[in-house]
Amino acid sequence: MKKKILVSIIAIIIVGVIVTLAILPKGIYYGEASADFAIDLSQKNGIASNVVSNNNIWHMGESFYDPQVNENYNVFEFVEYVQLMQCSGGTEDRDLFKEPMNFDVLDDYDFEPLIKNCAGILKLGAKPHLKLGGVPLKYTKDYLQDGFGMNVYPPDDYDVYYNYIDGKLWRVDALGHRIYQVSSENDKIYINEATGVEVIKTDNITFYLDNLHYQNIEISRASTWDPITGDITIPDGSEQRIDEVIASIKASSNKIAKRVYNYYKNTGVEEDEDVDDSSEITYKQVALGNHERSSIDDQFTNKSDDEVIQDYLNGKRDYIPDFV
């Protein structure tokens, strides 16, 4: 027992010396030294805390890309956190951008290196501890790489820097100031500079329903209903899209979205008729609801998405019903 404890103490001291040698002058450690330890096992003061729970990584690089556990020396049996130092920038190879030295583009974020390292750390059973001390070079016009080779100056615009650290995608103006949050980099935003009208093409409608401020929801005509025969005509491919749109509106927590959903759900229902909360909106209700909300004819458009977007931007919206 005495020998086992002694070996553990020496191992910790050796690790401490190696770390210290990296930052102190070499001459201090020339020569030899020895020490004797006396351990009294009769004194019991509780369980020692984990003094090696944190592992410090100065430059993450690709250190934790698909890591494998070392079965013979698995430090993650006791390491709880991995500190990734200056992981948000300060040098060209740390800055999380597609083009770190392109000072004309400030939002070409590329967080994949950080995400992959964090995923690798989690795979090993620890938690990533992010140290966000460095400012990317492109955020400081006259940057200076001094201590440890890092940019030692603050950002020129703290709003731009905040957007970067926030880690979310934002539609920004020419000065980098936020306008609204974007769901994905795959979303496309079409803008009519003259009128200020914008159209977002996305696969995540609920995200925008929950996060934007609006007064109305419009659903373009994707089906028609013949009020005489009761027949519903649905263009090829639109059936699934109607389901997705209605499901997104239903899933939204926004009160306007809930109001629109209830409008369609009650379309075609008699005043004294009870509405089953578990029932789904039918295509007939969508078509009839669109007809009631619009003064246009009953024919759906056969235009492509891009054509509809351009019509919307240019004010040609006669076939897109208004919610009155």
**CATH number of the domain enclosing 97:** 3.20.20.80
Do residues 142 and 256 share a domain? Answer: no
Q: Is residue 298 part of a domain?
A: yes
Do residues 228 and 108 share a domain? Answer: no
Q: Is residue 9 part of a domain?
A: no
Do residues 168 and 67 share a domain? Answer: yes
Which pLDDT score, from 0 to 100, does residue 154 have? 94
Interstrand relation of 127-130 and 81-84 (parallel, antiparallel or unpaired): parallel
Which pLDDT score, from 0 to 100, does residue 3 have? 39
Domain that holds residue 80: 50-182
> How far is Cα 184 from Cα 249, in angstroms, rounded to an integer?
19
Tell me how many degrees the CA angle 250-295-194 measures, rounded to the nearest 5: 80
Do residues 177 and 210 share a domain? Answer: no
Which pLDDT score, from 0 to 100, does residue 236 have? 66
- The terminus-to-terminus CA distance of the chain in angstroms comes to 83
Q: Is residue 130 part of a domain?
A: yes
Q: Is residue 73 part of a domain?
A: yes
Do residues 294 and 219 share a domain? Answer: yes
Q: Is residue 195 part of a domain?
A: no
Total domains in the chain come to: 2
Do residues 221 and 167 share a domain? Answer: no
Phi first, then psi: give them for residue 59, nearest 5 degrees: -135, 110
Phi first, then psi: give them for residue 178, nearest 5 degrees: -65, 145
Assigned token pair, 182: 């974007």
CA distances from 27 to 14, 225, 233 (A): 18, 90, 87
Which pLDDT score, from 0 to 100, does residue 139 have? 96
Q: Is residue 139 part of a domain?
A: yes
Assigned token pair, 68: 């494998």
Which pLDDT score, from 0 to 100, does residue 43 have? 76
Do residues 158 and 72 share a domain? Answer: yes
Do residues 165 and 66 share a domain? Answer: yes
Do residues 164 and 256 share a domain? Answer: no
Residue 56, strand partner residues = 83
Q: Is residue 285 part of a domain?
A: yes
Q: Is residue 224 part of a domain?
A: yes
Q: Which of 214, 193, 190 is nearest to 311 (CA)?
A: 190
Assigned token pair, 303: 């235009």
Q: Which residues of the chain have pLDDT under 50?
A: 1-29, 295-300, 321-324
Tell me how many degrees the CA angle 263-269-275 measures, rounded to the nearest 5: 80
